């Protein structure tokens, strides 16, 4: 029966039936075949009760907080702050861009939004400083994906909703892997700059200009943006607020910073931002609701046990099993959105890898890292297209120059997969 | 007539925006109340129910906006005519599905109503919450009918491939920051 459900579900996906609807059709398969499954009424009740939880509210709230904060023009402030420290070094400015992506992503939580905001400012700037345009675009496209790994991150919230693993633990688990990936990319950027050489004269002139502003004034400008992840994470780990409440606080903190401190918009202009947030999370809402109902049908059909047996029979160690899963995720990330992939697959696969001794938090980190590369890989990596649009270059050209960065990302990914320490050290 | 046109275009969107604003404010009020006064039980339940309405109304919204998440790579490879035909068949299947779901959500909501359930914190009758499934699937079916009509009308127009849809999405993403970009012309300069 479980096999039939998968066959029906996958064939629906192939015919471009929306993922949420494919799950409903898949969940109804046992009824058509006269087997035991949920009735349609149970299906409706399950998708209702699956949405009736407080943790799920963190999804729309974090997205809204990110949309509001992104309007505060903070990408330039963050970039100036990081450039102050590393701008003079070889490859320093590209590194500052990667650092900006890291932090900006933490605030916005969306890869394409990070690429757009950071890229719109830094690509022209890097070109002005004498760096190759396509290379700069490729770098921002890849680094934009870092945002979903550094907490607070929507994919981690989704993984937590689907598996019941603590959101706070996942957020902590994502910190070091995110930094590691950023480091690997920076190493490549520095090597590239050493080889190709840099226009030191222009860079030094800019740096002197920037340094003349003084560290304190730069800190003052970027302080409020830098504080945002600290407030959210600090609130969660000190136990003062739940992740959902932290998400709500991030909404009002972003409103406060954007309206009162940076004065980038007024009360009247809030509604379009709400509309933007709705546009981002609405497609996820019922994918989540139906995924929960679909998951219950799969559990009834004993699918998780079948998968567990399959993996245990074919892979003897967690290392080989994880390698297989990573490859599947990487391929999947190329054609499917991160959110649905996580909510559908994590509950099915987690029991199997847990049986092999993999920590649930570690597995969540691996999954999110794998799928987030998909944003920067052809054919449909949205980040590539955003970077291409920004720099008026064909996305596939950007993809070519992004390749070394993606490989750097991949190296970090394999380190993260094989050494659980990176994901679990803070727990 | 203009009112109807506006509703056709923005009905779900307007409600979703309103619900999002409500969830944010009520949750914030709850955090403040809990920190400085007494904890209340109703805001959490109220926010959850707002979210449930969001879930079922988002169906109609995403059909209307055409941004349901799907995997389009295989369909992109098919010839135009065949693709269009499959698209219409898929849409008709979806319409049938939503009508079935609508029928059963009416039955289920009726059951909840006759069972006389009340919500634990606010003591509201539960069937009011389950109304979201009826209205949600009804709107989804309606939007699907609109979609099928436009599919048939535009049968000879070229269908949008996943690639084109991605390009469009990327452009929107860039435009979303475009306004902010113009303000920040002086990159390293900043405001003094």
Q: Count Cβ atoms below 10 Å from residue A392 Cβ, excluding itself.
A: 8
Q: Name the DSSP letter for residue B118.
A: B
Give pLDDT, residue A409: 93
| Length of chain B (residues) | 192
B179: pLDDT strictly greater than 50? no
**C-alpha span between A92 and A201 (Å, rounded):** 14
Q: What is the DSSP string of A139-189?
A: HHHHHGGGGGTSSS-HHHHHHHHHH---HHHHHHHHHHHHHHHHHHHHHHH
Cβ separation of B180 and A286 shorter than 8 Å? no
A420: pLDDT strictly greater than 70? yes
Cβ separation of B48 and A53 shorter than 8 Å? yes
Q: What is the pTM of this model?
A: 0.86
Report ipTM for this prediction: 0.85
Give pLDDT, residue A143: 92
Residue B189 pLDDT class (50, 70, 90 cuts): very low
Residues near A381 by beta carbon (within 8 Å), at least 6 away in sequence: A141, A334, A374, A375, A395, A399
Cβ separation of A77 and B70 shorter than 8 Å? no
Q: Rounded to an integer, what is the distance from CA A357 to the centroid of its chain?
A: 25
Q: What is the DSSP string of A255-296?
A: HHIIIIIS----GGGHHHHHHHHHHHHHHHHHHHHHHHHHHH
Considering only CB atoms, A245 lies closest to which of B27, B65, B94, namely B27
Going through A71-167 in order, the beta strands assigned E by DSSP cover none
Considering only CB atoms, A252 lies closest to which of B17, B28, B97, namely B28
Report the range of poorest mean pLDDT among A230-239, A244-253, B97-106: A230-239
Q: Name the DSSP letter for residue A376.
A: G
Q: Name the DSSP letter for residue A55.
A: G
Q: Which of B120, B162, B181, B182 should be substituted to probe chain A, the one whose Cβ sees the most A Cβ atoms within 10 Å?
A: B181
Q: Per residue in A59-110, pLDDT tens?
A: 899 888 888 877 666 788 888 888 888 888 888 899 999 999 988 877 777 7
- How high does pLDDT run on average in chain A? 86
Residue A293 pLDDT class (50, 70, 90 cuts): confident
Cβ separation of B24 and A252 shorter than 8 Å? yes
Q: Per residue in A117-171, pLDDT tens?
A: 888 888 988 998 889 999 999 999 999 888 788 888 888 989 998 898 998 899 8
Q: Which residues of B touch A251 (CB under 8 A)?
A: 24, 28
d(CA B1, nearest CA chain A) in Å: 24
**C-alpha span between A43 and A397 (Å, rounded):** 46
């Amino acid at each position: 029966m479980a096999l039939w459900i998968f066959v029906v579900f996958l064939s629906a996906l192939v015919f471009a039936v929306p993922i949420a609807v494919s799950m409903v059709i898949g969940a109804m398969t046992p009824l058509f075949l006269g087997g035991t499954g949920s009735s349609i009424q149970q299906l409706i009740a399950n998708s209702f009760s699956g949405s009736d939880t407080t943790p799920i509210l963190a999804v729309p709230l974090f997205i809204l907080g990110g949309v509001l904060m992104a309007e505060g023009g903070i990408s330039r402030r963050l970039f100036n702050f990081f450039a102050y420290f590393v701008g003079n070094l070889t490859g320093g400015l590209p590194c500052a861009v990667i650092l900006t992506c890291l932090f900006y992503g933490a605030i916005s939580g969306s890869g394409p939004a990070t690429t757009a905001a950071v890229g719109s400012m830094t690509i022209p700037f890097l070109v002005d400083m004498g760096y190759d345009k396509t290379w700069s675009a490729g770098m921002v496209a890849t680094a934009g994906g870092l945002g979903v790994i550094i907490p607070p991150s929507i994919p981690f919230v989704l993984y937590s909703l689907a598996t019941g693993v603590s959101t706070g633990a996942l957020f902590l688990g994502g910190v070091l892997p995110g930094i590691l990936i950023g480091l690997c990319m920076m190493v490549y950027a520095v090597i590239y700059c050493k080889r190709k050489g840099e226009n030191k004269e222009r860079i030094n002139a800019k740096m002197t200009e920037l340094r003349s502003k003084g560290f304190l004034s730069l800190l003052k400008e970027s302080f409020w943006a830098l504080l945002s992840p600290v407030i959210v994470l600090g609130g969660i780990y000190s136990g003062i607020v739940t992740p959902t409440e932290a998400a709500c606080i991030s909404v009002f903190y972003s409103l406060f910073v954007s309206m009162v401190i940076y004065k980038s918009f007024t009360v009247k202009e809030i509604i379009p931002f709400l509309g933007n947030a709705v546009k981002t999370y609405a497609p996820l809402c019922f994918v989540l609701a139906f995924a929960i109902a679909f998951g219950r049908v799969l559990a009834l059909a004993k699918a998780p046990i079948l998968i567990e047996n399959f993996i245990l029979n074919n892979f003897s160690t967690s290392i080989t099993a994880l390698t297989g899963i990573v490859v599947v995720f990487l391929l999947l990330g190329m054609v499917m959105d991160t959110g649905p992939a996580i909510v559908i697959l994590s509950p099915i696969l987690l029991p199997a890898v847990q049986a092999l001794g993999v920590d649930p938090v570690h597995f969540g980190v691996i999954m999110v890292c794998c799928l987030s590369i998909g944003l920067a890989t052809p054919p449909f990596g949205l980040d590539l297209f955003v970077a291409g649009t920004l720099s008026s270059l064909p996305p596939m050209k950007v993809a070519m120059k992004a390749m070394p960065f993606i490989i750097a990302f991949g190296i970090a990914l394999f380190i993260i997969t094989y050494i659980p320490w990176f994901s679990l050290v803070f727990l | 007539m203009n009112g109807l046109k506006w509703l056709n275009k923005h009905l779900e969107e307007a409600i979703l925006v309103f619900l999002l604003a409500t969830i944010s404010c009520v949750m914030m009020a709850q955090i403040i109340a809990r920190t400085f006064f007494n904890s209340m039980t109703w805001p959490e339940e109220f926010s959850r129910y707002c979210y449930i309405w969001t879930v079922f109304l988002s169906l109609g919204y995403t059909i209307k906006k055409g941004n349901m998440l799907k995997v389009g790579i295989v369909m992109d490879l098919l010839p135009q005519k065949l693709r269009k035909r499959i698209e219409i068949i898929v849409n008709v299947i979806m319409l049938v599905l939503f009508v079935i779901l609508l029928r059963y959500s009416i039955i289920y909501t009726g059951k909840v109503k006759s069972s006389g359930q009340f919500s634990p914190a606010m003591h509201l009758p539960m069937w009011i919450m389950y109304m979201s499934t009826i209205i949600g699937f009804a709107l989804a079916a309606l939007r699907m009918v609109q979609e099928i009509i436009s599919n048939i009308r535009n049968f000879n127009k070229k269908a949008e491939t996943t690639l084109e849809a991605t390009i469009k999405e990327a452009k929107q993403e860039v435009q979303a920051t475009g306004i902010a970009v113009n303000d920040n012309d002086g990159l390293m300069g900043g405001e003094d």
